[in-house]
């Protein structure tokens, strides 16, 4: 009997027209590194006295269903746009073929939902999670290695079957970014001496629990959005230290760039830095780690913009 192995697993995804209802047609096959999205339904003890003739317990019962998990995916040229759409909503697209610019923005009043299928063809078993929304994004920048992003997901329900619901999956051409292509700017100028950075975006999602016969949630509502992170730099100048001391804001941009028409940029339009120590930890170089928080910017009319430049028309992420 074959056993499920990760190398043969598949992740399919497609936007929903009606929340919590799996769409038909041919879904998109998405590259990924890990995914633990799925349904959990815990057993609760029944502390009932007098059921049996001794101290042994009565049968436990199943509690509510929770569909939650994380997907770690490569930051690539085309597929990352579908994850950004799930996180921030559909983009505004400009440009002409073959060079398009897709701008995703934070703060949308309503966010889309997708159905996600995690397939184990060796068994076979296919888990379709419906009503999936993206709550968080975590991405880090360092001098080397593959570029990856982690998305925190929340769903409404999950159904398992022995066959796929994704039709004939469609795969996009795969062009990956890597960390050596990364750059960080402050106020439009390159930020020097940075050894690492981390950015986290959260939609502040809340699971809405109501009384339902199927024990599922009613939906997932967005709350206050947050963008936070950390920048670690060698202590070679006082640029970041002065900004933190003065309590002023600046625009920071975190980017991966292949060329002028193929890039991904996260622009945080109004960033505030926490004051950081400059500890001496021996004879090696001195580093300082600055925590940051972003806020709504009146000029940009948003807190964060994610700008993806590729060859895909706007209908790809509509």
Domain region containing 258: 6-317
**Most distant CA pair in the chain, distance:** 78
Strand partners, 151: 71, 137
What is the 3-class SS of 143-204, one letter each residue? CCCECEEEEEEEECEEEEECCCCCCCCECCCCCECEHHHEEEEECCEECCCEEEEEEEEECC
Q: What is the pLDDT of residue 278?
A: 87
Instruction: Work out the average pLDDT over 4-25.
Output: 96
What was the pLDDT predicted at 249? 98
**DSSP class of 316:** G
Please report whether residue 187 resides in a domain. yes
Residue 247, domain member (yes or no): yes
* CA atoms of 20 and 67, how far apart (whole Å): 12
pLDDT mean across residues, the chain? 96
The tens digit of pLDDT for each residue in 166-182 reads 999 999 999 999 999 99
Q: What value does the mean pLDDT take over residues 68-94?
A: 98
- pLDDT confidence tier of residue 4, bands split at 50, 70 and 90: very high
Pair 111, 91: CB distance under 8 Å: no
- Rounded distance, CA 240 to CA 50, Å? 68
Q: Angle at the Cα of 105 (from 104 to 110), degrees rounded to 5? A: 105
DSSP letter at 297? B
Q: How many CB atoms within 10 Å of residue 153?
A: 25
What would the two tokens of residue 306 be? 């994610």
In a domain? residue 299: yes
Is the pLDDT confidence value at 294 over 70? yes
Give the list of residues 6+ apart from residue 96 with CB closer than 8 angstroms, or none: none
> Is residue 1 included in any domain, yes or no?
no
Mind listing the pLDDT tens digit for each residue in 110-135?
999 999 999 999 999 999 999 999 99
CB count within 10 Å of CB 72 equals: 14
Q: Are 48 and 89 in contact (CB under 8 A)?
A: no
Q: Domain count of the chain?
A: 1
Name the residue with tokens 């980017």.
255
Task: Locate 153 and state its tokens.
Answer: 């997901």
Closest residue by Cα to residue 308 from 43, 99, 26: 99
The model scores a pTM over 0.75: yes
Q: What tens digit of pLDDT does each residue of 29-80 get?
A: 999 999 999 999 999 999 999 888 888 999 999 999 999 999 999 999 999 9
Query: Residue 50's pLDDT is what?
Result: 86
* pLDDT tens-digit map of 241-278: 999 999 999 999 999 999 999 999 999 999 999 999 98
β-pair type (92-96, 157-161): unpaired
| Digit-coded pLDDT (tens) for 191-236 | 999 999 999 999 999 999 999 999 999 999 999 999 999 999 999 8
The answer to the question of residue 63 being in a domain is yes
pLDDT at 1 exceeding the cut of 80: no
293, 227 contact by CB (below 8 A): yes
Higher pLDDT, 31 or 281: 31
pLDDT at 53 (0 to 100): 86
Per residue in 95-113, pLDDT (tens digit) is 999 999 999 999 999 999 9
Which value, in Å, is the radius of gyration of the alpha carbons in the chain?
23
Are 310 and 78 contacting, i.e. CB atoms less than 8 angstroms apart? yes
- Token readout for 6 is 């990760």
Q: Are 55 and 152 in contact (CB under 8 A)?
A: no
């Amino acid at each position: 009997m074959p056993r499920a192995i990760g190398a043969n697993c598949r992740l399919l995804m497609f936007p929903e027209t009606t929340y919590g209802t799996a769409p038909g047609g041919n879904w998109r096959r998405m590259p990924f590194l890990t995914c633990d999205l799925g349904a959990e339904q815990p057993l609760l003890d029944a502390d009932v006295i007098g059921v049996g003739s001794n101290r042994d317990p009565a049968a436990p019962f199943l509690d509510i269903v929770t569909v939650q998990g994380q997907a770690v995916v490569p930051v690539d040229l085309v597929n990352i746009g579908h994850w950004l759409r799930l996180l921030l909503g559909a983009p505004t697209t400009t440009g002409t073929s073959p060079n398009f610019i897709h701008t995703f923005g934070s703060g949308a009043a309503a966010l889309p939902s997708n159905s996600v299928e995690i397939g184990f063809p060796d068994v076979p078993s296919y888990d379709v999670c419906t009503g999936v929304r993206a709550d968080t994004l975590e991405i880090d920048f360092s001098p080397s290695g593959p570029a990856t992003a982690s998305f925190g997901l929340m769903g409404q329900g999950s159904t398992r079957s022995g066959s796929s619901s994704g039709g004939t999956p469609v795969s996009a051409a795969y062009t990956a970014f890597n960390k050596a292509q990364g750059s960080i700017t402050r106020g439009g100028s390159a930020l020097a001496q940075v050894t690492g950075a981390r950015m986290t975006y959260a939609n502040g999602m809340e699971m809405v629990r109501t009384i339902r016969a199927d024990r599922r949630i009613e939906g997932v509502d967005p709350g206050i959005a947050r963008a936070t992170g950390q920048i670690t730099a060698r202590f070679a100048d006082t640029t970041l230290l002065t900004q933190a001391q003065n309590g002023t804001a600046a625009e920071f941009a975190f980017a991966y760039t292949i060329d002028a028409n193929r890039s991904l940029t996260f622009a945080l339009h109004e960033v505030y830095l926490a004051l950081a120590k400059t500890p001496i930890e021996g004879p090696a170089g001195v580093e300082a780690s600055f925590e940051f928080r972003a806020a709504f910017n009146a000029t940009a009319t948003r807190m964060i913009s994610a700008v993806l430049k590729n060859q895909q028309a706007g209908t790809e992420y509509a």
